[in-house]
Amino acid sequence: MLRRIEPTTNKYLAITNVNLQNQLAYVWDAAGRAFFIVIIMFIFVQLWSAVYATKQTAEIAGLTLTATIWYFLLAEMIELGKSRHDQQISAEVKDGSIAYALVRPYNYLVYHFFNGLGDTLVKMALVLLLGMPVVVWHVGWPGVDVRTVPAVALVVALALVLDFLMAGCIGLLAFVTEDTFSFRLIYQKLIFILGGLLIPLDFLPEWLQRIARLLPFAYTTYAPARLFVAFDNALFVQLLTMQLIWIGVMGAVLTLQYRWAVQRLSINGG
């Protein structure tokens, strides 16, 4: 069985490697687009410095100013680094090229995930490298134990998987409705508010925190960023468990939706 898995894994990693090399070939273009993070982090620094100064306290909801600013950098790194899988899948459905992609010797959905991974790695690295000097200059380095980095990296990886599953569901909606932009917009706003991109969930009212922690959106952005700035073993287990639960749920939904889409394509002669 392991012999069958290894060639398959190598095939998808090769797809990631090709996309990664393509992105590195135009790295300066990507850096130009990622430079926006400098403006974003400067605004966050000024805004939250004023908030903490007004509150006249070193911590808000257990987070210092330094932790809060680093939280936003990690959250923005994940959000700006994500590949827009829904747009790519939706475009292939609308122009009919999905019919050709389905007959190729790979799983259509797995291909899209690994193809976007190369793009994601480059964009996340650029956002982090460009945003870090602004953050370090104003608030210094975070008090992070390097031994916790592998655990945080795992949560980041699962966050990308969960985002892909939800984005894939949105992309395949193109079989039902021609334009999926409205669904993408709704998803972005949910990430913005309930995913912790606008404000850490810890700062929200208690009732809204409870709702947000039950939904999948917090585990694509808030979870890895929060764990990075204030690592706790119990929190790690809690976040990891919720990520795995939602990956299982959304994975099942996407699988059923994909099978339905393939069946519909076959019936219509695609």
Q: How confident is the model at residue 11 (pLDDT cuts 50, 70, 90)?
A: confident
Dihedral sign from CA coordinates of 193, 154, 132, 25: negative
Going from the C-alpha of 261 to that of each of 100, 198, 266, 270, the distances in angstroms are: 14, 34, 9, 11
The CA distance from 155 to 198, in Å, is: 20
- Per-residue model confidence as pLDDT tens digits over 185-224: 999 999 999 999 999 999 999 999 999 999 999 999 999 9
Give the per-residue pLDDT at 19: 82
Residue type, 248: G
What is the reported pLDDT for 4? 43
Summarised one tens digit per residue, pLDDT across range 42-62 is 999 999 999 999 988 889 988
Residue owning tokens 């687009």: 33
Q: In the prediction, which pLDDT does 266 show?
A: 59
Q: What is the mean pLDDT of the chain?
A: 90
Q: Any idea which residue has 């134990």 for tokens?
A: 145
Say how many C-beta atoms besides its own lie within 10 A of residue 201's C-beta: 21
pLDDT tens across 103-130, in order? 788 889 999 999 999 899 999 999 999 9
pTM of the model: 0.92
What per-residue string of b and e applies to 118-141 under the rule 16 or more CB within 10 Å gives b? bbbbbbbbbbbebbbebbeebbee
| Confidence (pLDDT) at 93 | 87
Residues in Cβ contact with 257 at an 8 Å cutoff, skipping those fewer than 6 apart: 168, 169, 172
Where are the domains positioned within the chain?
A: 2-267
